[in-house]
Chain A
Amino acid sequence: MSAPTTGTGTVKRGLAEMLKGGVIMDVVTPEQARIAEDAGAVAVMALERVPADIRAQGGVSRMSDPDMIDGIIEAVSIPVMAKARIGHQVEAQVLQELGVDYVDESEVLSPADYVHHIDKHRFTVPFVCGATNLGEALRRITEGAAMIRSKGEAGTGDVSEATKHIRTITGQIRELAAKSEDELYLAAKDLQAPFALVKEVAETGALPVVLFTAGGVATPADAAFMMQLGADGVFVGSGIFKSGDPAKRAAAIVKATAFHDDPKVIAEASRGLGEAMVGINVADLPAPHRLAERGW
């Protein structure tokens, strides 16, 4: 028997594989975490303010208080994720020390480094990172990300950016898969990503890590839509706990995600949910307030 090894690529990517087909929900209190677990969340994202409130309140947004994260870890038995600022390796070190199961290097928080992302290979804890296109996704994977989520536009309840980003990523993968090998050198240059990784994606027709979607999912139909567009699962941020009946909406989104190809199930899940989050149209957001443009 070989000595057990922690923090390997297989182990880091493996947890994300187990989350596929599931819904990861933003929670700000242990009570919300329990509601999410009871509703069928595969994991929760522990944070101090959901993106809609970050947007409304403004100011610098940072890693959550360790006591708050501890409280959520204590409250549930499913995996707990937490966010670090882009580039802020020490916030990520603290989150690893707290025992979170995944670190989200997230554009929803204020970036700590406008040039570099975190060198994620240095960590035992796996990372999920946002991406708006294939090149960005491949750069994050090169830095060690073990899971990608398309960014969407967090805290809006407007699914249009999530649609754009998942369509862009999956469409670019299909384009790569159609190229001949000698065309991949230019593709790697255009994508600003390493050739070996570009070639791997072209050959397999998929990212080497799990691809979730995020940013604006507010209804069971939104979640099923993202799954039909090729997402492996969905993050729901403000959409649940900013709605009229969070427990019911959370359970409905879980059902619609699992049966994303069955309109009958989605129709049934969509009934009697009360009010959805009010939302903001992305088109009405001035460019400096668009979170998806953070990260590169």
Chain B
Amino acid sequence: MTSAPRIGILALQGDVREHARTLRGLGAEAVPVRRAEELETVQGLVLPGGESSVIDKLTRIFGLREPLVAAIRGGLPVYGTCAGMILLADRVEDAIAGQQTLGGLDVTVRRNAFGRQNESFETTLPVPALGPVPVAATFIRAPEVTGVGPAAEVLARLEDGRIVAVRQGALLATAFHPEVAGEDRFHRLLLDLARERG
């Protein structure tokens, strides 16, 4: 394993470019993943922000759903932001009819939990697992974690106690977008997990 892991970004729809820029800034190789064979070549994966209903639909239409589920079960390090968090959740509230998730994280996530775009916001947020400096967090029509099962660990809460970042083994998820604000510590953690797995 070299020091520059190859990280895939699920590139069916969403803010792929921002994640690629963040990963490349950390010296990783970032590649788009839209096909099962592309998934096989990566040591870690980002599920970007976007519309969770659209990404779900496209993963099923293009035969990516089963390989993704298998990769997650097999221990592939994965980081999901916003829509990506929804895709990683075992349970989702306020989904559209027929919407599925990939699962893996023992949490319940509610879509659009903070309201519409007028209520979207940015803030700084303490994340003790990432050190003493708070992270820049941008919430865009964001979800929140409304229930955490015994297997998952809470990484961050808003001041009012709402859970917005979680981890379970090699799976990381944030309701917000560090990648649009130049915040790279979650991506560093993903790279560490990818290196550990080798």
Contacts and interface: CB of A to CB of B under 8 A. Distances in A.
User: Do chains A and B stick together as partners?
Assistant: yes
B55 to A, nearest CB: 9
Contacts of A259: 34, 62
B51 A22 contact: yes
B121 A6 contact: yes
A57 interface: no
A125 interface: yes
Contacts of A1: 123-126, 134, 158-159
B94 interface: yes
B138 A14 contact: yes
Interface in A195-238: none
Given A18-B15, A101-B117, A126-B117, A11 B54 contact: no
Indicate the size class of the contact surface on chain B. 35 or more
A6 B141 CA distance: 11
B3 interface: no
Contact of A255 (B61, B158, B177): B61
Contact of A18 (B50, B112, B159): B50
Contacts of B95: 77
A279 interface: no
B61 to A, nearest CB: 7
A14 B58 CA distance: 22
B116 A101 contact: yes
Contact of A77 (B17, B112, B177): B112
A21 B16 contact: yes
Contacts of A5: 121-123
Interface of B: 11-18, 34, 49-51, 53-54, 57-58, 61-62, 82-83, 94-97, 111-112, 116-126, 134, 138-141, 158-159, 177, 180-181
Interface of A: 1-8, 10-11, 13-15, 17-22, 37-38, 40-43, 73, 76-79, 96, 99-102, 124-126, 254-255, 258-259, 265
